[in-house]
Amino acid sequence: MGNFKGGDNTEDCNMLYFTHQNIGGRTLINFDSNKFKQILDVVSNPPNPKDTKVRSYYSDQEYVSFELDFENVDVALRIAGLLGKHATNFTITTLNFPDTNKIDSIQFMVFKINDAELLKILDQI
């Protein structure tokens, strides 16, 4: 797994949801991260996908990560619902302002999409 962003203080991160299990060895993502970003842009702001709410988008061969400001918690819930509906392996972590319990942003890490329908949609983009 990758490192969670939250500053040098690990207490700044609170795990909310975890479904990914690394069963020895290296797990690779099974979807095109650029196409996945396009779906996130549409889900985060349907009227204007170019004005996305997604920030700090990062991908490598093992996972895709991105953040949403806490003020966009409704978008985070929409994305969590989409990912959860499609049996995706992902995590959601809250990132707090330093030395407070106030939530700054919500970070997602997506490891694998298990739903053939969602993978087909990604392939068609």
DSSP 30-54: -S-HHHHHHHHHHHH-TT-TTS-S-
Q: Which residues span the domain enclosing 108? A: 10-124
Give how many domains the chain has, as a whole number: 1
pLDDT at 82: 87
Q: What are phi and psi of 24, to 5 degrees?
A: 65, 140
Q: Is residue 99 part of a domain?
A: yes
Q: Is residue 60 part of a domain?
A: yes
Residue 46 has pLDDT above 90, yes or no: no
d(CA 125, CA 123): 6
At 108-125, the pLDDT tens digits run 999 999 888 889 989 998
Residue 49 has pLDDT above 70, yes or no: yes
Report, as an integer, the average pLDDT of 40-55: 91
Which tokens is 14 given? 């609170």
Q: Which residue has the higher pLDDT, 41 or 22?
A: 41
Report, as an integer, the average pLDDT of 44-66: 92
Q: Is residue 77 part of a domain?
A: yes
CA–CA distance from 122 to each of 30, 53, 99 (Å)? 11, 20, 40
Q: Is residue 2 part of a domain?
A: no
- Identify the burial level of 88 via C-beta atoms within 10 angstroms of its C-beta, where 0-12 means exposed, 13-18 middle and 19 or more buried: buried
Element holding 108 (H helix, E strand): strand 103-112
- Helix ranges (H only) for the chain are 33-44, 73-85, 116-124
Q: Which residue has the higher pLDDT, 48 or 27?
A: 48
Q: Is residue 70 part of a domain?
A: yes
pLDDT at 25: 60
pLDDT at 14: 41
Report, as an integer, the average pLDDT of 25-38: 88
Report, as an integer, the average pLDDT of 72-79: 94
Q: Is residue 28 part of a domain?
A: yes
Q: Which residue has the higher pLDDT, 85 or 56?
A: 56
pLDDT at 5: 37
d(CA 11, CA 28): 28
- pTM to 2 decimal places: 0.75
For 46, other C-beta atoms within 10 Å of its C-beta total 9
Q: Is residue 1 part of a domain?
A: no
